Chains A and B, each alone.
Chain A
């Protein structure tokens, strides 16, 4: 107990130390180790701390009256520790990676500020999941948002980055405001910002208050998580931030939104096992399906690596939310076992997404580091120059595409099983609607595979499409090591799902935990016949056995043959060049056409003829294809322009003359006096 507390204090001081050392070191020779070694140590201790909390018991720490009237309350239970574990693992890998990645920032002379923000950012996330008081929760939440905002605009030489930073800032404060509303509603009921009082008395709140608390928290936290249509900041902020920061933001920070939703639903908003609450789950499933499908549809046509990954984060948050929503629906109909299944599916995907998205963002960072371009139309052929990065990126790509035997498959399998189990809900309308909701879910899984085939092949395979490969080298070892850590966890959680599931069952106090790593995940019907089984270790063994078997068979039947290296078949027309290759735009063309109602593609062809009268001899031909972002155009632009219009009207009372301001003050005082008078009477 007491050791835990000391450990926690050491973690806090390590990150603070890293931040201060970063500021002091002033771009010296040792500034990178001074910044990132404390954060690495802090991350390791965070992993250690969360594992001890999960395996032994919760930790609480109270410092009375840090600020008048408010006690700093830290309470780390299983759920908090689970999210801290994710923060710990990802930020360890990212810190290791940053040792190499941030080298280029040394030249720009600003690494000390970067180090300060980086450490404070990680620390603020740890404190967010640890705080047990609404006031401090919001304070740390704000700290997290602000540090990440400054990190997003870290490269502020580019106009574009500052713009995306502003979008992020506005959106995140919109979210914070709604979270504040939710806490305020709780405060009005209990008279305290402490989470403990919410936990004890929330079940007796009026139903309307509970619903309001849930909705405002869902929108508020959903903004951070990036739920459609509140997602617009995500595809802007992630590409603008340095890649190590985008890895942290996408892998862990958006999960803070999920953390908030879980806390609100199961802890604060007084969720009860009655069908009255089923619509909470339905709302989550709808929002989740929309996010998943729309996120991945934009990802599959995106040209910027990091924007594509950001859109895919929206998709994955959607998948997590579908699971969470199903869990809430099942729980509201008192289907306890199924609720656990859906919750495990959702949380397993949370773990997985943290790992593979961290890995993929770091991989994208390595590509940008080596080639200085984010445009996949200009990349290609890197697999020979950067063998390690490409292999690790491929592991991330297969995992996120949800293919066996990697981790993404396990959580998506669980998610699909949770959807299949919806037949046990005693409400025909819900049964049918959830069955229909499986349509976007399955489509999303298919599109995710297409997205990552496209990304991987355009970046790493065949010939380069623009950037010269001559001077491209593999990234430094510590960057590879950072990615390798997350890649190995991806494989581990794919082949041994026992790890993840037993972790989750300890965290969420689930009754049915698997007893040994060799046990299959077994789902049973009511009559005890097997509904579905999955045993990933055996699948991995079978895959390798079949591969070995066929290798032997082919050798025995076919004997020894040789391989000749020769040019790709060119139909006998001579050398193929890179302009004849498929490009990133052409490869996704069929999908753009099929979903044209969403993308509204606009094609322009511009021809120039050798002889103006003769339209057969074309000298040059230009083709331009643009797609629209329907959310920006149809939802945000009207809101922004009407706000500007309103503010323009308001400006009229701001005359700048002191006389009129004095008049305003007098009117206000008179109104206040009248108000007080009548209020007392």
Chain B
């Protein structure tokens, strides 16, 4: 059994992730605005939006059923639970005894399952578009993600996230060539899972570019706040995974005030840099045609396979 202090730290890590997630969304929006020569809203704008939405009344479609109503809660519960397994500033999460990376993937799957159902529940064609596209993309992303996990798990000996991140932080600077290939695959998967360009575009509500937005088009008020928040938590979870697995420098491996504080600061810096990089990348590429996306995912899969072969040879 982990000690009381460890469990507390674990819970604090998860709450940190949840609290930080709108900030990352804000930073990314600001970066995109700057690269497009706009002023853009402040980086704290997503927090204001969320509070505003929580206080608004809701409109619910008369066609919808209890699936539509319960989806925001299931969505948040699944993604919020996933946040507990992620090592943030401490290389160790006590919840590693409960679940691993595959469970995190499974929980994302649960959230996505309900979101797709909700998209189809309102009998709007927009929901259909979104769910149908999400179905294709998520289906193809699954093997890409699993193969990337495969490479990482073999290199560091486990899908347990604490083992993974500890293994990563103890190893020297990029000693394993296969990890570069896994990182490429993981990066593509993260773009896809968070619905960023070239997969989809968060900033518009255009039929051509919508994926996630189309599924949740009918939500308003508290439900929309929940869905948006859950989406940004998911994004931060994926960002911290890639950051902590592939660039694990500076993460705290012991429980002391200095190393924890340092770990937290370094984490925030690293993840912000990563977020700015993704936003920058998003500004510089266009949305791809839907049926070109499988090509990109194939690249991710092939990259992981190369990594696997490199590991075994």
Asked if A559 contacts B55 (CB within 8 A), the reply is yes
CB of A520 within 8 Å of the partner chain: yes
Report whether over half of chain B's contact residues are helix, strand or loop; otherwise say mixed.
helix
Asked if A404 contacts B106 (CB within 8 A), the reply is yes
What is the CA–CA distance of A398 and B106 in the complex, to the nearest angstrom? Answer: 11
For B157, the chain A residues whose CB sits under 8 A away are: 525, 527, 529, 531
Asked if B140 contacts A594 (CB within 8 A), the reply is yes
Interface size class of B (residues with CB under 8 A): 35 or more
Other than the given A551-B73, A594-B294, 11 more pairs (CB < 8 A) read A409-B106, A458-B120, A461-B117, A542-B84, A558-B222, A566-B61, A567-B61, A576-B124, A582-B120, A582-B131, A590-B290
Asked if B76 contacts A446 (CB within 8 A), the reply is no
For B55, the chain A residues whose CB sits under 8 A away are: 557-559, 561
What is the CA–CA distance of A428 and B311 in the complex, to the nearest angstrom? Answer: 10
Asked if A447 contacts B97 (CB within 8 A), the reply is no
Asked if B159 contacts A531 (CB within 8 A), the reply is yes
What is the CA–CA distance of A403 and B103 in the complex, to the nearest angstrom? Answer: 9
What is the CA–CA distance of A462 and B116 in the complex, to the nearest angstrom? Answer: 13
- Nearest A residue to B157 via CB reads A525
* Contact A564 to B60, CB < 8 A, known contacts A533-B96, A554-B54: yes
Asked if B100 contacts A568 (CB within 8 A), the reply is no
Asked if A582 contacts B58 (CB within 8 A), the reply is no
Asked if B150 contacts A438 (CB within 8 A), the reply is yes
What is the CA–CA distance of A566 and B61 in the complex, to the nearest angstrom? Answer: 5
For A544, the chain B residues whose CB sits under 8 A away are: 77
What is the CA–CA distance of A245 and B219 in the complex, to the nearest angstrom? Answer: 42
Give B61-119 interface residues, CB cut-off 8 Å to A.
61-67, 73-74, 76-78, 80-81, 84, 95-100, 102-103, 106-107, 109-110, 112-113, 116-117
Asked if A453 contacts B116 (CB within 8 A), the reply is yes
CB of A634 within 8 Å of the partner chain: no
- Per-position 1/0 for B117-160, Cβ under 8 A of A: 10011111111110111011011111101110010011001111
Asked if A550 contacts B76 (CB within 8 A), the reply is yes
Shortest Cβ distance from B93 into chain A, in angstroms?
11
| Closest A-B pairs by Cβ, 7 of them | A582-B128, A446-B142, A558-B54, A462-B123, A590-B136, A442-B146, A457-B120
What is the CA–CA distance of A633 and B95 in the complex, to the nearest angstrom? Answer: 52
* Contact A420 to B109, CB < 8 A, known contacts A463-B63, A530-B158: no
For A672, the chain B residues whose CB sits under 8 A away are: none
For B103, the chain A residues whose CB sits under 8 A away are: 404, 413, 534, 539
CB of B309 within 8 Å of the partner chain: yes
* Contact A457 to B59, CB < 8 A, known contacts A413-B106, A539-B81, A594-B294: no
Shortest Cβ distance from B270 into chain A, in angstroms?
25
Asked if A590 contacts B132 (CB within 8 A), the reply is yes
For B301, the chain A residues whose CB sits under 8 A away are: 439
CB of B278 within 8 Å of the partner chain: no
CB of B255 within 8 Å of the partner chain: no
Asked if B113 contacts A547 (CB within 8 A), the reply is no
Contact of A546 (CB < 8 Å), options: B76, B100, B102: B76
Contact of B226 (CB < 8 Å), options: A460, A550, A561: A550
List 6 contacting pairs A-B, 8 Å CB cutoff, sorted by A: A416-B146, A420-B159, A435-B305, A562-B58, A563-B57, A567-B62
CB of B182 within 8 Å of the partner chain: no
For A568, the chain B residues whose CB sits under 8 A away are: 61-64, 122-124, 218
For B76, the chain A residues whose CB sits under 8 A away are: 546-547, 550
Shortest Cβ distance from A518 into chain B, in angstroms?
11
CB of B287 within 8 Å of the partner chain: no
CB of A207 within 8 Å of the partner chain: no
CB of B312 within 8 Å of the partner chain: yes
Contact of A439 (CB < 8 Å), options: B110, B138, B143, B225: B143
What is the CA–CA distance of A527 and B157 in the complex, to the nearest angstrom? Answer: 10
For A559, the chain B residues whose CB sits under 8 A away are: 55
Asked if A587 contacts B131 (CB within 8 A), the reply is yes
Asked if A582 contacts B163 (CB within 8 A), the reply is no
What is the CA–CA distance of A445 and B146 in the complex, to the nearest angstrom? Answer: 11
* Contact A590 to B133, CB < 8 A, known contacts A525-B158, A568-B218: yes
CB of B296 within 8 Å of the partner chain: no
- Per-position 1/0 for A418-433, Cβ under 8 A of B: 0110010000100110
What is the CA–CA distance of A333 and B225 in the complex, to the nearest angstrom? Answer: 54
Contact of B291 (CB < 8 Å), options: A439, A542, A594: A594
- Per-position 1/0 for A434-474, Cβ under 8 A of B: 01101111110111011011101110111100000000000
- Per-position 1/0 for A37-81, Cβ under 8 A of B: 000000000000000000000000000000000000000000000
Asked if A587 contacts B135 (CB within 8 A), the reply is yes
For A416, the chain B residues whose CB sits under 8 A away are: 102, 146
Shortest Cβ distance from B200 into chain A, in angstroms?
13
What is the CA–CA distance of A554 and B301 in the complex, to the nearest angstrom? Answer: 40
CB of A170 within 8 Å of the partner chain: no
Contact of A449 (CB < 8 Å), options: B127, B138, B226: B138
* Contact A532 to B158, CB < 8 A, known contacts A435-B150, A436-B305: yes
Contact of B312 (CB < 8 Å), options: A401, A404, A431: A431
What is the CA–CA distance of A159 and B94 in the complex, to the nearest angstrom? Answer: 62
For B136, the chain A residues whose CB sits under 8 A away are: 450, 590-591, 594
What is the CA–CA distance of A461 and B139 in the complex, to the nearest angstrom? Answer: 22
- Nearest B residue to A559 via CB reads B55
What is the CA–CA distance of A558 and B222 in the complex, to the nearest angstrom? Answer: 8
Give A479-518 interface residues, CB cut-off 8 Å to B.
none
Contact of A520 (CB < 8 Å), options: B97, B154, B221, B291: B97
- Per-position 1/0 for A550-591, Cβ under 8 A of B: 110010011101111111111000001010111000111111
Give B199-238 interface residues, CB cut-off 8 Å to A.
217-218, 221-222, 225-226
Asked if B123 contacts A446 (CB within 8 A), the reply is no
CB of B41 within 8 Å of the partner chain: no
Shortest Cβ distance from B163 into chain A, in angstroms?
5
* Contact A404 to B138, CB < 8 A, known contacts A383-B67, A557-B51, A568-B61: no
Q: Which of A398, A533, A587 has the most CB of B within 10 A?
A: A533
Asked if A532 contacts B226 (CB within 8 A), the reply is no
CB of A336 within 8 Å of the partner chain: no
Asked if B291 contacts A457 (CB within 8 A), the reply is no
For A323, the chain B residues whose CB sits under 8 A away are: none
For A436, the chain B residues whose CB sits under 8 A away are: 305, 308
Q: Which of A460, A546, A563 has the most CB of B within 10 A?
A: A546
Shortest Cβ distance from A389 into chain B, in angstroms?
13
Asked if A462 contacts B117 (CB within 8 A), the reply is no
For B60, the chain A residues whose CB sits under 8 A away are: 563-566
Contact of B98 (CB < 8 Å), options: A520, A546, A566, A570: A520
CB of B5 within 8 Å of the partner chain: no
What is the CA–CA distance of A675 and B226 in the complex, to the nearest angstrom? Answer: 86
CB of A477 within 8 Å of the partner chain: no
- Per-position 1/0 for A152-182, Cβ under 8 A of B: 0000000000000000000000000000000
- Nearest A residue to B135 via CB reads A450
- Nearest A residue to B124 via CB reads A568
What is the CA–CA distance of A534 and B102 in the complex, to the nearest angstrom? Answer: 10
Asked if B128 contacts A581 (CB within 8 A), the reply is yes
CB of A1 within 8 Å of the partner chain: no
Asked if B140 contacts A446 (CB within 8 A), the reply is yes
CB of B25 within 8 Å of the partner chain: no
Contact of A403 (CB < 8 Å), options: B66, B113, B142: B113
CB of B162 within 8 Å of the partner chain: yes
Asked if B109 contacts A449 (CB within 8 A), the reply is yes
For B77, the chain A residues whose CB sits under 8 A away are: 543-544, 546-547, 550
For A669, the chain B residues whose CB sits under 8 A away are: none
CB of A109 within 8 Å of the partner chain: no
For A529, the chain B residues whose CB sits under 8 A away are: 157-158, 163
CB of A103 within 8 Å of the partner chain: no
CB of A373 within 8 Å of the partner chain: no
What is the CA–CA distance of A453 and B128 in the complex, to the nearest angstrom? Answer: 12
Asked if B226 contacts A554 (CB within 8 A), the reply is yes
Shortest Cβ distance from B295 into chain A, in angstroms?
10
What is the CA–CA distance of A445 and B147 in the complex, to the nearest angstrom? Answer: 13
* Contact A446 to B154, CB < 8 A, known contacts A383-B67, A564-B59: no
Asked if B135 contacts A590 (CB within 8 A), the reply is yes
